[in-house]
A and B are shown apart, each in its own frame.
Chain A
Amino acid sequence: MNDPQPVRTGPSTVNRRKFLTAAGAGVAGGSLLTMLEARQAPAQIKGTTLRILQWSHFIPAYDAWYDKFAKEWGEKNGVKVRVDHIPHLDIPARMAAEFAAGAGHDIIYNGSSILTRLYYKNLVDLTDISDAAAKKYGGWIPAARSLVEVEGRWYGLPIFYILAPMLYRKDLFDANNLKYPDTWELARVAARTLKPKGHPTGIALSQCADANLFWRSMFWSFGGTEATPSGDQPTIDSKELREFLKFAKALFEEGMTPEVFSWDDASDNRYLASGIACWVHDAISAYRTTEDTNPPVFANTFLGLEPQGLPGKRVSCAAPNVWMVWKFSKNQQAAKEWLAYLIDNDLEGMTQSRGYNMPYLNDRYKKPMPVIGTDPKLQILQDFPKIVAFYGQPGPSTTPIQEIVNTFVFPDMITKFCRGMAMEDAVKWGAGEYRRIYAKYKQA
């Protein structure tokens, strides 16, 4: 038996400067954590200005609440808060411009297209806030990590996501002895039965966010994946993709009209509200639009969980929303304080958005949740967090995936097939685009 070897230690690398830096960081971090814990804003942020770039929410009342809420927080803490609202599609361009200029807002919002991985080197590490929130509220739902985590650190703070359940006309289903659409096959049967009676269904097959989201839900529920769990390789070209495409085309031919090729994100809302659709797969904005514009149809509109593709397999591709703080921000401390405060009040945000904003923190799912927990039709939304996933699943939302999403490769592949292209040609085209885009980033 050999004698234990002494552990070789290198020469001490701690000099005075490093010691002071480490000690300073420790004190500052400790103070921030203590303040976060106590929900007490530090005196240093008094007299500063915080600039927030926010999207224009689909629910205008939410924006009004948010602006007021932010202003009140600012007044309480001596911070002048300015909130700017722009359409969510303009955010990537605005982000690029602000980064190039090295100036702009302190806090920037990302919706649907999450650019954390693209910009993370220029974003403030928000791990301290996310850890504190996780500790306080029972941890994050599993999918949250994929949006903002890069090399073990969180460069964004997930604030809410938008669900897309099944919204179906119970009166039409009952009148035709159709079963509740708990599987995609049952949804297809319903569409096939009701289309000849003037009630087709529809999922956008155009270049819009809905097309990117909802067809992915179906594909993933059929067992398909877009990338490896590490996110470095595409896995789109698969047996599952072919099965899904076969199903998607059948659903389109039997239950939809060519209108879906022209739809934007609000078209299915109008389709349901007009009383035409037998079911749509959409955010609850469709439900709210119907409530506001067509009460008789609203009375017969019910919500269902994400349908199963394979037995027991439900995956719901949701639209994520994330906050980030620029590294060039001169008011990072106030930005972090505000975000921590916002996370503490995300249930209020959910209420103000009429149940639209779904939280990412586990403890927020204690039933009954605000708005959706008290409306019997919406209660089913409380069961979604376990099946929620985001672009790129089971991998993270990588930069190649964002390009694939932004250039609509996935819905275009389905469109090509539904328009008559041979399945293998459509797959060849789609998988080819995935491979080409991944290769570009690998090369870079």
Chain B
Amino acid sequence: MTASSSRGGPEAASPRAAAVSIAVRARPRRWFSSQTSRRLAFGYLLLAPAVLYVLLLVGAPFLFSLFLALSDASVADTTASFVGLENFRAAFESDVFYIALRNSIGFTVVAAIFKGLLGTSLAFLLLQPFWGRKFIRGLVVIPFTLPISISVLGWKWMYDSQFSVINWFLSRIGVIGTYGSAGWPVWLGEPHLALLACIMVNVWRNFPFSAIVLLAGFTSVPTEILDAARVDGTSFFQRFRHVVVPMIAPILLIGFLFDTVFTLSDLGVVYLLTQGGPANATKILPVLAYQVGIQAGALGRGAAIALFLFPLLLPLMILMLRNLKRREY
């Protein structure tokens, strides 16, 4: 021990000590040296595949469609020039666009209401104990799993102006007139009926999905809580409104979000049933975007029409996700 060290002062700088001290000072301080940083880095590492997945499969196509919407891109040209908001202006100039926008919103809202009602009813029915319940639960998802072209072709036959099985049945039981009379509905020929017919097919195809989502939610509600509510003298609707719905709200919101996105972007049903006719009465944005962008080849204008779905969906998404987050805490 040196004299200075015994006094508590700085150690005398022997050549060896100096060398050690310099070496310690020169070592870079690593950013992940702390436990917190390391945990953070590991967290990001685990998150990276998901972020990459979203960026590649959602972000990149979205940015690409944004680029297309702002350019004069054509299906037959690999190059495109920037045209600003010209394609959006072109969409606003066409009254078919406004019809498609109105129909898209109406289609989604009406279909969502019916899918909610039918899905809830079906979920409650499937919740009840009965013989063959598992088999029936498997059967109800068939409309959802059938290839859209096959199921819509079947509906097209059922809506046929001449051979509609729906009409022949209704006519036979006296609800509507006979074929050729004014009381014979032309499902895909009358503007409002045609839109309703398209909505019906969308509801038929997708309400089993709503039912399955709801069923998953219902089965997650502990029976003790429901029993307690029952003991308190609540009615079925009170239990549903004040116990079940708040408890399964996150599942409901996610299901609703999925369904809204699927319905708003549903090209198949309308395209296969009516192609948007008669006189654009059933035209929705995805069909118009497809006809202009792909069939006519004006990719830029088609992309602009399709992108109008984004501002429609964005506020809804934000509201729902915010609501969901609030419920988590």
Contact = CB atoms under 8 A, between A and B. Distances in A.
A206 interface: yes
A262 B90 contact: no
A267 B294 contact: no
Contact of B294 (A92, A121, A436): A92
B180 interface: yes
Interface residues of B, number: 42
Nearest to A207: B277
Contact of B276 (A93, A99, A207): A207
A60 interface: no
Given A206-B278, A208-B275, A436-B93, A263 B161 contact: yes
Contacts of A403: 292, 296-298
Given A92-B297, A271-B162, A262 B95 contact: no
Nearest to A92: B295
B61 to A, nearest CB: 13
Contact of B76 (A113, A118, A270, A415): A118
B310 interface: no
Given A267-B161, A440-B90, A399 B274 contact: no
B76 A99 contact: yes
Contacts of B75: 92, 95-96, 99-100, 118
Nearest to A415: B279
B297 A440 contact: no
Interface string B78-99: 1000000000001001111000
Given A276-B162, A406-B295, A440 B190 contact: no
B171 interface: no
Interface in A102-126: 113, 115, 118-119, 121-122
B295 A113 contact: yes
A261 B186 contact: yes
Interface string B294-318: 1111110100000000000000000
Interface stretch (A24-32, A50-58, A216-224, A252-260): A252-260
Given A92-B75, A208-B275, A261-B279, 11 more contacts: A96-B294, A99-B75, A99-B76, A118-B297, A206-B278, A259-B186, A261-B186, A263-B161, A267-B161, A402-B297, A408-B277
Interface of B: 72, 74-78, 90, 93-96, 156, 159-163, 180, 186-190, 194, 274-280, 288, 290-292, 294-299, 301
23 contacts: A92-B295, A93-B295, A96-B75, A96-B297, A115-B76, A118-B76, A121-B77, A206-B277, A261-B190, A262-B189, A262-B194, A270-B160, A402-B296, A403-B298, A406-B292, A406-B295, A408-B277, A412-B279, A415-B277, A415-B279, A436-B94, A440-B301, A444-B74
